Amino acid sequence: MDLVYESLYIGGKWVAPASARAIEVVSASTEEVIGRVPEAVEADIDAAVAAARAAFDDPVGWSSWEPGERAAVMERLAVALDARAGEIARRVSSQNGLPISIANAVEGGFPQLILRYYAGLIRTAVLDEARDGLLGGKVRVRRTPVGVVGAIVPWNLPMTLAAFKLGPALAAGCTLVLKPSPGTVLDAQLFAEAVDEAGFPPGVVNVVQSGREGGAHLVSHPGVDKVAFTGSTAAGRQIAETCGRLLRPVTLELGGKSAAIVLDDADLTANPQDLFLSTMVNNGQTCHLTTRILAPASRYDEIVETFTGFAASLAVGDALDPATQIGPLASAAQRERVEGYIAKGLAEGARLTTGGGRPAGQSRGWFVEPTVFADVDNHSTIAREEIFGPVLSIIKYETDEEAIAIANDSPYGLGGTVWTTDPARGQAVASRIRTGTIGVNTYTVDPAAPFGGVKDSGLGRELGPEGLTAYQALQTMHLPS
């Protein structure tokens, strides 16, 4: 075993954990144990919240600093992450199967982009605005940090999704307790080292590797002022219920089952990389992927053939191999779940055009072949539920109106794409889809633009200037004229 850790990062120090419990990490590609970190139990989480609370409540502490002073520390964190980018990407890739070429680009770089973006934003943000009241007095409207944040992230893009929360929270002046998923705890240790090197005041950022129970403890903790969660819709509902009872602000980034609407004039050969990134990236383990492909009846057979050929052409292999496009799924349980959906698709009458099994030549690792189903009914299980694996469902439509109706007939509303050679037509269709984000002939997540979902895909937005407001509370101060 390579990476064995004995301490947790709480209150600006590496501290001994309260219990002997540990989280063991297994490589998704080789099934070998590659590391171990202490598991934070309730006492550790209490200590982390207390440290974040003390750091926030300090009258001359982080939350009272000038925005430019906070921005400088955030930029130092970005530099410290730059220095560890390759190793962070390698650890994420080993743990969850994210192909290393993508891990380098996303997990190795996106967090720094977000930190630098919010550092820049907070330097020029208007945090204190003077207004004339209508009743003769003056008014100051202050944007103050919301307080101690409990940030809970999943395993699929752990560092990036942590940065979605850290960037705006730190810029606003909040302090945090970050709870990574038990599936990705080794990258979190490197992240804590970078936090330590950046020189935050003690307690501003704390990291507690823990499971579901630890997450639930953090969500309901009396010392936490706001919860920011990315993960499954099922867990999001439970968290929302707790936060509702406590009247605690919460941001929820949940699951998806987005649609790619291929219009009858589309040229699918124009952007093969965009098509890959928007349908299959991270082995299908990405929340916004368009896993329902809506194909016009007039070009149905050709589009089925295109997606079948595209999926069959993807290079499947060890996640650490730079040539790999599709790595293993993150865990044995995840593979079992995906295989269950493939069996369900067959049982419900969908037509398998490629994949469906485990790739030949991979004796170890939790691999599933890139899989395409044609003739899928939008009401079948594989069209309604999030599979979180490399499985696409092709659904036939007759008219643009029908395509829009099918795209909207989903419990989710997170991503989406429209493919067409007519950009105006594409945007007109895109604007009628009930979803938080959508692309025309491309799809991306940009730090400067709000990201999030509607319906079962979540509440609130991360990223962009809009993402900052989730970490700010308004205080109105009335003054005589």
Give the residues lining the site for ligand NAD (CB under 6 A).
152-156, 161, 179, 181, 211-212, 215-216, 219, 230-232, 235, 238-239, 253-256, 287, 386, 388, 414, 453, 458
Contact by Cβ (8 Å): 429, 417: no
Residue 200, number of CB atoms within 10 A of its CB: 21
Question: Which structure tokens are listed for 437?
Answer: 């984000």
Q: Residue 301: helix, strand or coil by DSSP? A: helix
Instruction: Answer whether 204's CB lies under 8 Å from 174's CB.
Output: no
Q: How far apart are CA 387 and CA 382, in angstroms?
A: 7
**Residue 299 CB, nearest approach to ligand NAD (Å):** 30
- Strands 175-179 and 205-207, bridge-based pairing: parallel
Q: CA 466 to CA 450: how far, in whole Å?
A: 6
Cα separation, 135 vs 131, whole angstroms: 12
CA distances 166 to 170, 252, 255, 451, Å, are 6, 15, 21, 15
- The answer to whether residues 78 and 167 touch, using CB atoms and an 8 Å cutoff, is no
Q: Which residues of 141-150 are buried (b: 16+ CB within 10 A; e: fewer)?
A: eebbbbbbbb
3 state SS of 250:
strand
Residue 184 beta carbon to ligand NAD: minimum distance, rounded to whole angstroms = 9
The smaller minimum CB distance to ligand NAD, of residues 258 and 472, is found at 258
Max Cα–Cα distance, the chain, nearest Å: 78
Instruction: Name the residue nearer to ligand NAD (CB basis): 151 or 275.
Output: 151
CB of 400 or CB of 456, closer to ligand NAD = 456
Angle at 439 between CA 232 and CA 355, to 5 degrees: 60
Cα(202)–Cα(12) distance, rounded to whole angstroms?
A: 4
∠168-169-174 over CA atoms, to 5°? 150
Q: Which residue is nearest to ligand NAD (CB)?
A: 215
Report the nearest approach of ligand NAD to the CB of residue 222 (Å). Answer: 16
Minimum separation from the CB atom of position 387 to ligand NAD (A): 10
Q: Which CB, 161 or 394, lies closer to ligand NAD?
A: 161
Comparison of 237 and 364: residue with beta carbon closer to ligand NAD: 237
Tokens of 236: 């999001």
Task: Give the shortest CB-297-to-ligand NAD separation in angstroms.
Answer: 30
Tokens of 200: 């935050």
**What contacts 347, CB < 8 A, 6 or more positions away?**
none
- Report in angstroms how near the CB of residue 179 gets to ligand NAD at its nearest: 6
* Cβ at position 396, least distance to ligand NAD in Å: 26
**How many other β-carbons are positioned within 10 Å of the β-carbon of residue 24?**
14
DSSP-derived secondary structure for 11-48: TTEEE--SSS-EEEEE-TTT--EEEEEEPP-HHHHHHH
Residues 6+ apart with CB under 8 A from 88: 81, 107, 108, 159, 187, 190, 191
Considering the complex, state which of residue 240 and residue 374 has its C-beta at the smaller distance from ligand NAD. 240
Half-sphere exposure of 437 (CA within 13 A, CB side): 28
Q: How far is the CB of 457 from ligand NAD (least distance, A)?
A: 6
CB of 262 to ligand NAD, least distance (A): 23
C-alpha to C-alpha distance for 185 and 44, rounded to whole angstroms: 16
Of 125 and 216, the one with the shorter C-beta distance to ligand NAD is: 216
Active site (catalytic) residues? 253
Q: SS3 for 179? A: strand
SS3 408: helix
